[in-house]
Structure 1
Amino acid sequence: MSDNGSTNPTDAPASGGAANQQGAPLAIRGQYIRDLSFEIPKAPESISGLTQAPNVDIQIEVGVRDLQADTYEVTLTVRCEAKTEAESIFILEIAYAGVFTLTGLQAEHLKPALYIECPRYLFPFARSIVATLTQESSLPPMLINPIDFAALYRARYQEAQQGAAS
């Protein structure tokens, strides 16, 4: 391979380097597993006797808590339950949270940032934990499809508006 003086794009500093992060409206201060529960109620029989793909119910919730000025804890809760007609195969619930600082946002952009953008950052990590945990438990990895957090936010917003109207 010849060296023609060009740089590899992965070697160049990212455009969002340290100089840009100070003015960024959204900063991730930390992320963590707030709570995790995993059950295989009838193991090992339910695992070894699995002859058909189970029906899987996935529920997603996003919660926000004010911590201090411009700093929020956003919690993405994922609940998965896999069942056959006869029995429950597994029940998994993870609350994966992050601490975010949001600065310089107009008031009308704060809730969408908290309920759409912040969960988008958390989701890949929660998804990976779910897949790894199920796979390490002798089950097929539970690969959760991408979530449209904007649609989820709009649906919850409409529910809240309808609830306030009645």
Structure 2
Amino acid sequence: MAEAEAATPTAPQMRVLGQFIRDLSFENIMAQKGAPADVQPDVQMQINLEPKKRPAENQYETAIKLNVTSKAKDADTVLFALEIDYVGIFHIEGVPEDQMHPFLMIECPRMIFPFLRRIVSDITRDGGFPPLNLENIDFVTLYRNEVARLQAEQKGKADA
């Protein structure tokens, strides 16, 4: 009986220990250049994730790096540019080592994304634009794309 209990893996446990803005930049280019206010925006977004182990036992962090550029649809005029590096600090136990990277790239950003969404909405509204409400991000697809990109990069280096 004791052997069966010892062989049973523990369920993963995660706690958010903290979250913060590491870096933030918002440029209202439209106001600086005096562009007309009745412009239809075309919003482009890039997202990158950076997970890493922290020095403390069972502590990790995942940074969501978001770059948003809004341009006028009819012209190539930039309306605003937003860059934010948002970090979550996590205490994680019970995740096998081979599953830690996907956990940090999928589950951790999923936990802190609603807070990032709120910050982006507030910044764009306070910057004089309609609030930018980010759509949900499929972190599983984002992770798979990153793995495929890394594999292609490795294959390219092996062929060279």
TM-score (norm 2): 0.83
Q: Residues 42 and 70 of structure 2 are in contact (CA less than 8 Å); yes or no, is this contact kept in structure 1?
A: yes
Within a 5 Å distance, the mapping from 1:129-140 to structure 2 comes to 129-140=119-130
CA displacement at 1:51 relative to structure 2: 2.0
Is 1:40 the counterpart of 2:28 in the alignment? yes
Aligned partners of 1:87, 1:113: CA distance in 2, in Å?
39
Query: Greater helix percent: which structure?
Result: 2
Aligned partners of 2:76, 2:150: CA distance in 1, in Å?
37
Percent of aligned pairs with the same amino acid:
34
Within a 5 Å distance, the mapping from 1:29-108 to structure 2 comes to 29-43=17-31, 45-46=34-35, 49-68=36-55, 69-84=57-72, 85-108=75-98
| 1:75 alignment partner, SS class | strand
Aligned partners of 1:42, 1:140: CA distance in 2, in Å?
13
| 1:95 alignment partner, SS class | strand
Aligned partners of 1:70, 1:161: CA distance in 2, in Å?
28
Aligned residues: 142
Over 6 Å off, 4+ runs: none
- CA RMSD after TM alignment: 1.5
TM-score (norm 1): 0.80
Is 1:165 the counterpart of 2:152 in the alignment? no
- Listed as ranges, the gaps of 5+ residues in structure 2 are 1-10
| 2:61 alignment partner, SS class | strand
